[in-house]
Amino acid sequence: MTEPIRVAVHGAAGRMGRRVVALAAQDPDFEIVAAIEHADCSDLGHDAGLLAGIPAVDIPVASQWPGFADAVIDFSLPSAVDGVIANCIAAKIPLVMATTGLSPEQKNQLAEAAKTLPIVWAPSMSLAVNLTMKLAQQVAATLKDVPGGMDVEILERHHRYKADAPSGTALRFGELIAQQLGDDIRHVHGREGETGQRSRNEIGYHAIRVGDNPGEHTIVFGMLGEKIELNVGASNRDCYASGALTAAKFLKDREPGLYSMFDVLGLS
């Protein structure tokens, strides 16, 4: 029998961290070896399983990092990412970076760390989102020179508590589409007032914050006389937790490098 993957969850007391703990505990391919939180977290000492709404897993939430693990899954905040990267480098633990809203400097840190560690980083861990990104690339590449031109608009919906806008996933959709359309693409965030006629070389972004929506993205490709809309949405957060666990499985025995969910899905 194959040994289970020893996984440490950083941000274990958060909404996403709890779902990672819950799903990992139900999967025989995983063994939870650490549930990590910041030193001021009020849930320190609580059993990570009970905190996640499942039976106890005998792993208390702690601020100390483990000396060993086969992978760390990080669902936390951008302010914690520097420490996550440093601790993974120090302990030589592969990393699934699922935290969104990273700065350009932090993305550079990930690339540097990937010279010595295998790392999966993506703005979304959802398998469906990443497959839709691939479809969006194909649509853009096929229709970029369509007679009359093609307009691209990206609409994203998230819960009222989300701190960044537009979402990292929406921005990644735009980056991938722009790569197919050319170097002169402008990224426009919302519109107001007398904006004039829409430019042919722009991608528009629109962020909606409502209720408890866990995430929905619609990519509109508008042409003269017809349109294509790609829509992908989550009904709960488990798709992100499940995708992160799939990425952790991908990292097992992997060589150092910075991998994407396209790599995890075999879409590269």
The answer to whether the pTM exceeds 0.85 is: yes
Instruction: Assess whether pLDDT exceeds 80 at residue 122.
Output: yes
Mean pLDDT along residues 204-222: 96
Mean pLDDT along residues 206-212: 96
Mean pLDDT along residues 114-133: 96
Mean pLDDT along residues 220-225: 97
Q: Is 38 a catalytic residue?
A: no
Kindly name the residue from 10, 46, 158, 217 that is annotated as catalytic: 158
Instruction: Assess whether pLDDT exceeds 60 at residue 71.
Output: yes
State the Cα–Cα distance between residues 128 and 237, nearest whole angstrom.
Answer: 13
How does the average pLDDT of the chain come out, rounded? Answer: 95
Kindly name the residue from 134, 162, 249, 252 that is annotated as catalytic: 162
Helix/strand/coil for 224: coil
Which pLDDT value is given to residue 183? 77
pLDDT digits (tens, 9 = 90+) for 141-172: 999 999 999 999 999 999 999 988 999 899 99
Residue 14 — pLDDT band, cuts 50, 70, 90?
very high
pLDDT digits (tens, 9 = 90+) for 174-199: 999 999 998 799 999 999 899 899 98
Quick one: angle between helices 168-181 and 127-143, nearest 10? 30
Residue 199, phi then psi, degrees to nearest 5: -75, 150
Q: What is the 3-state secondary structure (H, E, C) of 105-170?
A: HHHHHHHHHCCCCEEEECCCCCHHHHHHHHHHHHHHHHHCCCCCCCEEEEEEEECCCCCCCCCHHH
What are the boundaries of each domain within the chain?
Answer: 5-125+237-265, 127-233
Cis? peptide before 166, omega within 30° of 0: yes
Mean pLDDT along residues 209-224: 96
Asked if 79 and 100 count as a contact pair (C-beta separation under 8 A), the reply is no
Which pLDDT value is given to residue 1? 57
Query: Which tokens go with 154?
Result: 């990206």
Q: Is 162 a catalytic residue?
A: yes
**CATH 3.90.180.10, domain 5-125+237-265, yes or no:** no
Fold of the 127-233 domain: Dihydrodipicolinate Reductase; domain 2 (3.30.360)
pLDDT digits (tens, 9 = 90+) for 102-112: 899 999 999 99
